[in-house]
Structure formats: C-alpha cells, structure tokens
Chains A and B, each alone.
Chain A
C-alpha cells in the first residue's frame, strides 16, 4: 500500500517536473489550434502602415474535450528560419522558456471555443524579416498546452515579409551633415590659426 502511494506521489511530482524546471518543451505540444493570417505567401508588408488579420480556433478534427484545459490564447509573430540564420538572439530552442523564435505579441485573449479574429497594425519596432504567425494555448497555471501556426512543421511554406521603418528622418540627415561639415571646417580653421601664430612668433 505504502509503495503504491509512494509511486503515485513520485509520479505526481514528476509530472510537475517540466514546469518546475521552468520550460515546457515545444516538441511535447499538440498542434490542435487552427490559425490563419491574412498575408499570402511571400507578401511584403510595411511596419507602421499595414495590418495583419489573424483568425484562430480549435481545429475541428479534434474531439470535443481537447480544449478543456485551455484558458488563454496568445498570438505571436515568429521569425522564419532564413531570418534566424547567423542570429543567435532569434534561435529556436525546444525549451519554451529559452526559445526566442517568437518575440512579438499580436494578441492575448481568453480562450473561447468559437473561432475568433483580430486585426493588428504591425508595430513600428518590428524589424525587417520573414515571419509566420503562431498561437499558443495556455492552461490556468500559465503554461503552454497546445499550439497552432500558419506554416508547416519545417517552417518553409506560407511565410510573409515585413519591411521595417528605417528610423531615419530628413532632419537627422541634415543635422549630421551640417555638424560634420562644421567639424571639418574647424580643423582647417585650427591649422590657419596655428600658422598665423607661427608667423607672428617670427616677427
């Protein structure tokens, strides 16, 4: 009897091990959400100007009780593989607490059985890159329990591009050039002053 209790207790504790050590593994998540986004494959959108409309809900091919633990849903803008190459700060890691694939939140909502949608204006600090959209479902302890995404498992299809703002303004450009010219003219001025000083020392 005691050994049975011990076994149950240890199993129960171990089932929390994932969450205790901070990080659900992405590979353990079932893909039960159906997500779609308005951009078509290869479309280029402008940050600060264009919108993305995202639609999400439970994939109807799954049985009814699948989403019983789903509490919240977060929709994220995630980097495609080509934008992760040679950029360690965007690396995909299985442990979700360390994963850096998805860095921008499109929407954060309570989970509802019905299909929902949301239109998001692409924020001005989104960098130029290739993206897809992913949705994570969370349970009441704020842990990921399921996901869905607009691309395939290899992240090769249905990717769209965002063109970032440059951050430059003509006023900045003019100021840079003017101050630079001023610095260069100052050197010429210093040389001239120095020569004049030398000539007056001669006299």
Chain B
C-alpha cells in the first residue's frame, strides 16, 4: 500500500482515537462516530448495507413480480444470476479505482451510478427489462472492496481484522434486512390503496433513495485517509503510487489467491444464492404467506450481525495459538460444516426443523466468509488490493455457478438443488488443503524449512531495483508484524538468522 512519509510533526492533528505512526487507529470503538476513523467505518458499512438491500430487494417480492411480468422459473433464475454476475469484474476493477481515486470517491460514484438501475426497476415490464435492472443493480456489490480498502487505510494491523469483519458482516446484513423491509413497505403501500402490481413498483423507491443518500453521506462526510483525501495528498507528495503492472503480476501469479477466490465462492457465493432463492422456497414449499417467508428469509441474512465478525475473531484467536495453520484448519472445518447443513436443509420436510437447520447453516457459512478474510491479508502485501478484489469477485462467481447449475429453470426442485449445492460446497472446500505458506506451512505440512522467513516470502514481490529505491519498506514492516502467524512458537524472534529451533504446533 501507500508509504506515508509525512511525519507526525508536520501535521499537528489531534485524533479522537489512539493512532500509530501512519495515523491509523489502533483501537476500534464501535459506538463512536469520531472523524476520520470511526466515521469512515460507519459510512462504509451503511452504504454497503444499502447496496445489499437494493441488490436483493426483488427476491422477497418475486411472488408478486413473477405474476406481473409473466416470468417463468428460468427467467427468475437468469435474473438472479445476472444480479450477482456484474460484480465479478466490478469488484476486481474497484480495487484499482480505489488505488487511483481513493475509496471515498470510488464508492460514492459507484453507489450513485447504480442507483438509476434501482429507480428503473419500477418501470420494468418484461423478463428482459427485469434481468437488465437486476444486472446493473448488482454492480453496486463492488462496494465491498472499497469498504475493505477504506478500513485497511484507517485501521492498524491489530484491529483491521475486526474492522473489516464487522464492516463486511454488517454490510451483508442488508441481504437479510431487505427480506423484511421490502414486504413491509409493499404491505404498507398496498394498504394505502395501490393495487399489488403498482405497490411493488413504488416500494423500490425506498432502497433507491437510501442508496442515493448514503453516497452523499460518503462524499461530504468521509475522508480517504486519516490525513486527508487523495486529491490533497497526491499533490503534497505524501502518497507514492505503485506500478500497476507489477502489482497485477504478483496478484495473478499467486496460486493461493486463486484458491481462496474459488473457496470464497462456496461461502459468500452460497450466501448470495440463498438470499436470492430462500424466500420463494419457503413461500412455495411450506405455503407460508409473503410476510412470513420474508421474515424467515431475513433471519438467514441477519445472522451476519455476529457470525461474519465472529468468523474473523475466531480466525484471530486460532492464529494466536496455532498461527496460520490454525486459520486454515478452522476455515476448512467451518466451511465444510456449512456444506453439511446445506445438504440437510434440502432434506428436511417440516417447517420448524427447516428454519432451525437454515439458521445453523447461515452461521457456519457466514463465519467461513469472515475466516477467509482472516487469511487473505497475508497472501500478498504488495497486491493486497487486487487479491481482495479477486477473492471478492470469486465469491460472486460462486453465486453465478451455483444458481446456473442448481436453481435455474425446473431441472431440479429447489430442495434437491440445496442438497446438491451442499455436496459441491464440501468438495470445493477441499482445495484449502492445498494452500501452503513456505514460512508457516499449510494444513498438512509444516513450513518449507526451518529457516524460511516472512521476509523471504514478502520480499519476493519486489525486485532489486525497487528495493534500491526503498519501495519495499512497508512490506518489510508487515513481515515483522506477521511473525505472529507462526502461532505459539514466536517467542521473541527478531531477525531471521537467529531463529531458535522451534516446536511446531
């Protein structure tokens, strides 16, 4: 990331939170809105929440929309796939946009550019127009990357995991909240006097307005970095711009990034798929009314309040005792269990048990998302932005794949689709066993050799010309800080050459 050379002395700023040498906050105070750190946190999770609400506003109202627009099961499936496919590339592009323009401008612009798609959902009149509005609305999910990027700019390594986990989790909450909000808004408008086929159209103005307002909030109240906005800092020379080609190269040649991108598709991707299909599933299979189906579907997404942050915290906890190997094992176990409960969800036939299984399934699948982003920051230091974008994009690819294979048209009943999806989760999650860090090891193997260090791994991303110019210094700092990923055996290991023979956990 950027190297800040402006020292504390040049800026006589007083921050509400304790900060480190880069002016990143070292504490995370949830109930504070102090500028710039906590304010950035609240602005970013609220706008990400708004984007999720808009993207999944259609599913709870599908029983009405499918009759109004004369949709078939295939049309509905295609629209659901379109909703999550746009963000695949948008998420990758967003990492670059944040680098160039800063997370504030990038996320405010994207949020506003996708708001018209939500407004225009009100005037959709066919399967094609419905698919198009869902496709363009789905681009807004790329704000995940700007959220994570912004948190990484504002919070130091000690608390960045928590900040990222809570911001990501509370944003994802939107996918659950919308299943409650939209049927309620629809009911209200219907009672006031609009017919069903008009009421759902009016209802879409609510998420659209929310999205517009959150973009305004980010632009006027937010700030890219603790010390100011990119536009100010670029000019004063405080921010150094890295070479995009090199950053891109180091991202795509790191196989761990690709594995995590795929496996994220089977926790986050599955979460998106369920957001799309679960309300209709309960409405059609168990004959509950629209309201009830919405509440049940909402509880799936609402578990994000604690389960994704919990996954992130669990990852940090396991790392304290067992290092990176602990993070990997926990991720594999939790995500596999998510697959097991998905299989069960398709099998149970009674409403009460189905809801219970769905809730357990939601906790595991969302915790796996948090656990994944406990590993991602360590895959690459130089290319963190693109690796995060790739992983995020991979999540959406998983959503596209699962919907195409299992939930489109009438080939499988929804319950069979759920069971088969659970099997696919378990199979794809096995790839985590292949992740190996030479300095820390993988699930089944220890480190490559006793003398392989964190510096060896992170310095391999810089060539000697760049090292001469001192661009690698931030990575060096990061290597030192990441020694905690060795687990209990860190002791006090200062330099690579003096490492004592360690007991491997």
A: residues with CB less than 8 A from B are 85-89, 124-125, 127-129, 164-169, 172-173, 175-177, 179-184, 186-187, 190-191, 193-195, 197-198, 201-202
Contacts and interface: CB of A to CB of B under 8 A. Distances in A.
Contacts of A179: 115-116, 119, 205, 208-209, 212
Q: Which of A129, A183, A198 has the most CB of B within 10 A?
A: A183
Contacts of B216: 186
Nearest to A89: B284
A190 B101 CA distance: 12
A77 to B, nearest CB: 13
Main secondary structure of the interface of A (DSSP, over half): helix
Contact of B212 (A175, A177, A183): A183
B120 A176 contact: yes
Contact of A194 (B68, B105, B195, B280): B105
B207 to A, nearest CB: 12
B67 A184 contact: no
B219 interface: yes
13 contacts: A89-B66, A167-B195, A167-B197, A172-B122, A176-B120, A179-B115, A183-B119, A183-B212, A186-B112, A186-B212, A190-B105, A198-B231, A201-B231
A103 B437 CA distance: 60
Contacts of A85: 72
A180 B113 CA distance: 9
A176 B231 CA distance: 33
A87 B195 CA distance: 23
B123 interface: yes
A175 B116 CA distance: 11
Contacts, number: 121
A106 to B, nearest CB: 17
B492 to A, nearest CB: 44
Contacts of A193: 219
B236 A187 contact: no
Taking chain B's interface residues, is the majority helix, strand, or loop, or is none over half, making it mixed? Answer: helix
B119 A164 contact: no
A201 B198 CA distance: 50
B63 A89 contact: yes
A167 B232 CA distance: 49
Interface string B59-88: 000010011101011100000000000000
Interface in B102-143: 105, 108-109, 112-113, 115-116, 119-120, 122-123, 125
A26 B222 CA distance: 64
Given A89-B284, A177-B119, A201-B231, 17 more contacts: A88-B410, A89-B66, A124-B197, A125-B195, A125-B197, A164-B68, A168-B201, A172-B202, A176-B119, A176-B122, A176-B123, A179-B209, A184-B112, A186-B216, A187-B113, A197-B229, A197-B231
B252 to A, nearest CB: 30
Given A86-B74, A180-B120, A165 B195 contact: yes
A197 B220 CA distance: 12
B196 A125 contact: yes
Given A167-B198, A190-B108, A87 B72 contact: yes
Contacts of B202: 172
Which 6 pairs of residues, A with B, have the shortest CB-CB distance? A167-B197, A180-B116, A127-B67, A198-B231, A86-B72, A183-B115
Contact of B201 (A87, A172, A190): A172
Interface residues of B, number: 46
Contacts of B284: 88-89
Nearest to A195: B231
Contacts of B283: 89
A187 B200 CA distance: 28
A183 B116 CA distance: 7
A25 B497 CA distance: 81
A28 B38 CA distance: 68
Contacts of A129: 70
B447 interface: no
A168 B199 CA distance: 10
Contacts of B212: 179, 182-183, 186
B329 to A, nearest CB: 41
B247 interface: no
B5 interface: no
B477 interface: no
Contacts of A191: 105, 109
Contacts of B208: 179
B217 interface: no
B13 interface: no
B73 A168 contact: no
A197 B223 CA distance: 13
Interface in B221-263: 229, 231-232, 234-236
A201 B232 contact: yes
Contacts of A198: 231-232, 234-235
A128 B313 CA distance: 51
A88 B229 CA distance: 53
Contacts of B122: 168, 172-173, 175-176
A180 B235 contact: no
A197 B233 CA distance: 11
B438 interface: no
B68 A167 contact: yes
B409 A180 contact: no
B387 interface: no
Contact of A201 (B63, B68, B125, B236): B236
Given A190-B105, A190-B108, A180 B119 contact: yes
B67 A164 contact: yes
Contact of B409 (A86, A166, A190, A194): A86
B500 interface: no
Contacts of A86: 72-74, 409-410
B289 interface: no
B200 to A, nearest CB: 7
A127 B68 contact: yes
Contacts of A175: 119, 122, 205
B110 to A, nearest CB: 9
Contacts of B74: 86
